[in-house]
A = this chain, B = another copy of it.
Amino acid sequence: MQENYFSQIADSGIRPSAQRIAIYKYLCENHVHPTVDMIYKELSGEYPALSRTTVYNTLKLFADHGLVQTVHIDEDKLRYDANTEPHIHFKCIKCSKIMDIPCSGQLSRINSECCSFLPEGSIARKIQTYIWGICPSCS
């Protein structure tokens, strides 16, 4: 994993500002699938003038450029993930924690199989699998 957030942002066609770097850095270093509010509160200490609007705008920008992906596992709010490798998301319905499930390289095969059921002529752009359940610490 490379730590040069500035150039990763620039490489995806986005101008790296201080706020953008801070948000991307937070996402890369904290794999907690944060909501906008979590990021906002976490970075407020470092950037007292930071606004939620900037966090919203920045994350949408990142998602549009493929730098992060949106996670739809909550019913109300969006979450964000800097890990764009194929993986499954698991949400514990007791402690509400959201975890990445690594799939030992099997997921691209599984995903292709899922896409093979699509009607002829469909184009798949994004595929995500979510599991809701109870994690080992809560069961």
Question: Is A90 in contact with B133, judged by CB distance below 8 angstroms?
Answer: no
Complex Cα–Cα for A127 and B131 (A): 4
Known: A113-B106, A118-B90. A72 touches B75 (CB 8 A): yes
Question: Is B101 in contact with A118, judged by CB distance below 8 angstroms?
Answer: yes
Q: Which of A57-78 contact B (CB under 8 A)?
A: 70, 72-73, 75, 78
In the complex, how many angstroms separate the beta carbon of A137 from the nearest chain B beta carbon?
8
Question: Is B104 in contact with A117, judged by CB distance below 8 angstroms?
Answer: yes
Query: Which residue of the partner chain, among B73, B117, B136, contacts A119 with CB atoms under 8 Å?
Result: B136
Q: A120 — nearest CB in chain B belongs to which residue? A: B136
Determine if A49 is an interface residue (Cβ-Cβ < 8 Å): no
Query: Which residue of the partner chain, among B72, B110, B135, contacts A114 with CB atoms under 8 Å?
Result: B110
Chain B residues within 8 Å of A133, by CB? 118, 122-126
Known: A72-B72, A75-B78. A117 touches B101 (CB 8 A): yes
Interface centre among A104, A106, A128 (most CB of B within 10 A): A128
A binding-site residues for B, Cβ under 8 Å = 70, 72-73, 75, 78, 88, 90, 93, 99, 101-104, 106, 110, 113-115, 117-136, 139
